[in-house]
Amino acid sequence: MTNRQWGRLTLALLVSTLLFIVGMVVLIDPFEVYHKATAFIPPIASGTQSYSNAGIAKSYDYDSIIIGSSMTENFRPSQLNALLGGKFVKLCINGGTSFNNKQMMDIAFGTHDVKRVLYGLDISALCFFYTSPKAEMPTYLYDDDVFNDVQYWFNQSVLARYIPRCLKTLGQSDPDQIDTMYSWGEDFAYGKDAVLRDTVFSTAEVRQSPLADHPVLSQQFMLNIEHNFIPYIESHPDTEFIFFFPPYSLMQWYSFYQQGSLHDNLMQKQAVVERLLAYDNVKLYDFQTRLEWILNLDHYVDYEHYGAHINDAIAEMIANDQWRVTSTDQVRESTRVLIDYVDRLRAHGAWPDSFDALL
């Protein structure tokens, strides 16, 4: 064999190997970027969320989306389908900012006719700069440039871990995966002992810094609203946007007080409500003063995170149009109630056995 023949053979083998790898990744497509899985159970889990969401957003059949943080991960699309109509999928980003949620809405609206958006509003997610992600996304899976998918085709984890995992479930299916994906409700301990672990109570008064002390933070907050919310609401007047404030436990508001940010966060919340209520295609719900939830730590795994049964109840209440906000006066009353209960808890100096002790 001549050197030229050897070179041609080597090149042909190299190209064939590369084409085989690309073909295998595209055909199996563990993260469903090119087509929805039908012959195996896709590896959708919290650890793969930013990758799995790209395929879900592109390849699944849906007309409604769930957007938000871990506060939204325990929703069941099948329940929402039955209660609200349509076909829901989860596009949640655990710990994401409003920019991360914008990335998900970009791809959803760019590939589907989205009729309804259920969006969990975490005030803390709006404190980041409006173009800053908290959860880094593999943007090459979210755009339309097929050439930068080389990072997917030759990804070591895809080749060595996720394709073999898919092949192990060949011929199997999981019809419940649309509901169970990203859900964590059964993975943690609930109750007072779990929530108050390492908590130190204090009766000392902490100065609450007003918005005037944070002009840059306030500006960033409103930039998030104007750039990551409003363009979608205005560009899609036929889409119904359902925003809700998640019911954190009272301990989360007490923690805000200890940090000196309680009044700041509540004033920011009022600003969001005032801005969103201007649109006819927006519905807004506030569950943050539902006392039977926020005063009962049996519903929580930590200060913020509530069980899946709360997500089910929220879905029911939205379907029945309960706890809807139609004026800023309602939010002012909610603010008053939260501050009042934080003050009572602070004065008591410990989590009470019964909240009758705080009355």
Q: How much is the pLDDT for 358?
A: 62
Bridge partners (DSSP) listed for residue 241 = 117, 282
Cα–chain center distance at 145: 26
Please report the domains of the chain, with CATH numbers, ordered by start residue: 50-155+177-358 (3.40.50.1110)
Could you list the pLDDT tens digit for every one of the 359 residues in the chain? Answer: 677 777 788 888 888 888 999 999 999 999 999 999 999 999 998 888 999 999 999 999 999 999 999 999 999 999 999 999 999 999 999 988 999 999 999 999 999 999 999 999 998 888 888 888 877 789 899 988 888 999 999 999 999 999 999 999 999 999 999 999 999 988 899 999 999 998 989 888 888 876 555 555 567 888 999 999 999 999 999 999 999 999 999 999 999 999 998 998 898 899 899 999 999 999 999 999 999 999 999 999 999 999 999 999 999 999 999 999 999 999 999 999 999 999 999 988 899 887 776 65
Instruction: Give per-residue pLDDT as tens, 121-141.
Output: 998 888 888 888 877 789 899
Whether residue 323 contacts residue 314, with contact meaning beta carbons closer than 8 Å, is answered with no
What's the pLDDT score for residue 211? 57
